[in-house]
């Protein structure tokens, strides 16, 4: 269990470090991501981005378990 948590933590750190390059791919501004801008307020909900990341992570974990 602790090994899994360490790996997840390292993946989160890696995603944070690589975020500027991931934004160049369009990740985070996909069609379906909700952005509401008002005076002095911005709300951003990356719905499609989260679904895409979930699919990729699920596929990687599925391949690792095989």
- pLDDT at 1 > cutoff 80: no
Q: How far apart are the C-alpha atoms of 18 and 55, rounded to whole Å? A: 19
Domains held by the chain: number: 1
* Predicted pLDDT of residue 39: 94
CA angle, 6 then 27 then 56, to 5°: 50
What is the mean pLDDT of the segment spanning 42-53? 90
- Tell me which residue of 9, 2, 48, 16 sits closest to 29, measured CA to CA: 48
* Predicted pLDDT of residue 3: 86
pTM of the model: 0.62
What is the mean pLDDT of the segment spanning 14-29? 79
Q: How far apart are the C-alpha atoms of 62 and 66, rounded to whole Å? A: 7
Residue 60 domain boundaries: 2-65
- pLDDT at 63 > cutoff 90: no
């Amino acid at each position: 269990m602790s090994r899994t948590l360490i790996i997840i933590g390292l993946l989160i750190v890696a995603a944070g470090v690589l975020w500027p390059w991931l934004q160049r791919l369009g990740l985070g501004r996909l069609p379906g991501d909700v952005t509401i801008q008002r005076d002095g307020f911005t709300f951003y909900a990356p719905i499609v981005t989260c679904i895409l990341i979930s699919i990729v992570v699920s596929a990687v974990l599925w391949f690792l378990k095989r």
